[in-house]
Amino acid sequence: MNSENIIQNFRKSGALLDGHFLLTSGRHSDKYFEKFLLLSQPKIVEELCDSIARFFMDENVDIVVGAATGGIVLAYEVGKKLDTSGIFSERVDGIMTFKRGFSLSKGQRVLLVDDVVTTGGSVFELIKLVKTLEAKIVGIGIVFDRTGGEIDFGFPTCSLYSEVIESWEPNECPQCKQGTPLTQRGRTGK
């Protein structure tokens, strides 16, 4: 799936929104990606995950890991495409961890997946978790990179769509300065 098709699918599914949003990172933006509207479309998700899987096909991936909640769908589908397992991590008291019997083994070859990257916080948390367990990260697959590729995770990365989408600290936000109220969507509560 090419970049043009990806952004068209975001628009067509109603997942690309305009407004004044508080992002999970704490920053504000005038654009928001309601990823679950896109992730609720099985055929689109299958195409997106197929593109990520093809990029890492030769990396002998043992397991695919995503962060709850959007990463659950992606890890499952990319894992299916790579004929392996897809698991997810969750935050417990603000710390990324594995629950529900999920774990990684020392030396296991891991592909990380994420839906939308703004600051890379969730991916960096996943990297830390995987390194703690002494598994080997072979790459990172991202559906939508809001930074235009500015973040370097230190591992081979496949971003299906990358564009600089501006975001601001609340005290620098032009919409806050104009008194525009926040739109209700935008923050996951991490």
Share of the chain above pLDDT 70, in %: 96
| pLDDT averaged over every residue in the chain | 91
pLDDT category, 186, cuts 50, 70, 90? low
189 or 137, greater pLDDT: 137
pLDDT higher than threshold 90 for residue 12: no
State the average pLDDT over residues 9-38: 86
- Residue 102 has a pLDDT of 95
Helices (H), the chain: 3-12, 35-39, 42-55, 70-81, 121-132, 174-177
pLDDT category, 87, cuts 50, 70, 90? very high
- Residue 17 has a pLDDT of 86
Query: Phi, psi (5° rounding) for residue 22?
Result: -90, 115
72 or 15, greater pLDDT: 72
Whole-angstrom distance, CA of residue 22 vs CA of residue 28: 5
pLDDT higher than threshold 60 for residue 77: yes
- Residue 188 has a pLDDT of 53
State the average pLDDT over residues 49-74: 95
Q: How many CA atoms lie within 13 A of 175 on its CB side?
A: 19
Q: Spell out the residues 6+ positions from residue 182 whose beta carbon is closer than 8 angstroms to its own.
A: 20, 21, 22, 28
pLDDT category, 185, cuts 50, 70, 90? low
pLDDT higher than threshold 60 for residue 165: yes
What the chain holds in terms of domains, given with CATH numbers, is 3-177 (3.40.50.2020)
